[in-house]
Amino acid sequence: MTQTPAVAVRGLHVRFGDVEAVAGVDLTAEAGQATALLGRNGAGKSTTMKVLAGVVPPTAGEVTVAGHDAATDALGVKRSVGYCPDVGGLVPRATPWEHLQLSARLRRMPDWEERGRDLLERFELGDVAHRVVGGFSHGMSRRLSVVLAALHEPAVLLLDEPFDGVDPLGVDATLEVVADARARGACVLLSTHLRDLALEACGEAVVLRGGNRVAAMRAGELTGEAYRALLD
């Protein structure tokens, strides 16, 4: 018996007016695995992630996330997914704790405080748990976005540029979150420009170029030369 992939994307197209941000991406990602999504700026990585998070509906193609069709059941997708967006992702005048509280309550998590506190401590945000995030540095915001994505132990964890501007301790904490998610059987998709970190965190790699998938392979096979060749 074959297991249904946690994320299955076939022929995904996303158009914004005249611009085709994603032009026929195919992608599968299994539960218990971490897959790196690599590519240059404008390759369609972040848009694909937004579709998988239920934020942007697909223009065409089939997208299934944890068994939910992204086109018809966006709410089901949102319940199953934890998403760290590529930019910002925080309500400027709310505190980290208020972000966590809202996310937990809407996902019907009865005892979330302890896990919330633990995650904030792991990402060194415990001291600023009740401070408005508008004054946070870029790195602090990125770390909090990862915490929010991981809080409810989602079946599918989507991390879009989680290492961007983050210090080494934050990088370690993020790698730990990815490892934990894999260990409990979640599917992790991690989009980044940083090949080395992608290889450290993920077992599989998918390379996008111009809105298309150009390669899918074991992460270990993606050498620096091979990666550069795929980007050109």
Residues at the site binding other proteins, with contacts judged by CB under 8 A: 16, 46, 50, 53-57, 74-75, 78-79, 81, 83, 85-95, 97-99, 101-103, 105-107, 129-132, 134-135, 145, 148
Strands (E), 30-91: 34-39, 60-65, 68-69, 81-84
Q: Minimum distance from CB of 75 to other proteins (Å)?
A: 6
**Integer Cα distance of 25 and 11 in angstroms:** 5
Nearer to other proteins, 20 or 98 (CB): 98
Nearer to other proteins, 135 or 168 (CB): 135
Nearer to other proteins, 95 or 203 (CB): 95
Angstrom CA distances, 17 to 20, 21, 45, stand at 8, 10, 18
Q: Minimum distance from CB of 214 to other proteins (Å)?
A: 24
Crossing angle (nearest 10°) for helices 113-122 and 138-150: 140
Q: Minimum distance from CB of 90 to other proteins (Å)?
A: 5
Nearer to other proteins, 126 or 220 (CB): 126
Q: Minimum distance from CB of 216 to other proteins (Å)?
A: 26
Q: Give the number of C-alpha atoms closer than 13 A to the C-alpha of residue 82, restricted to the C-beta side.
A: 27
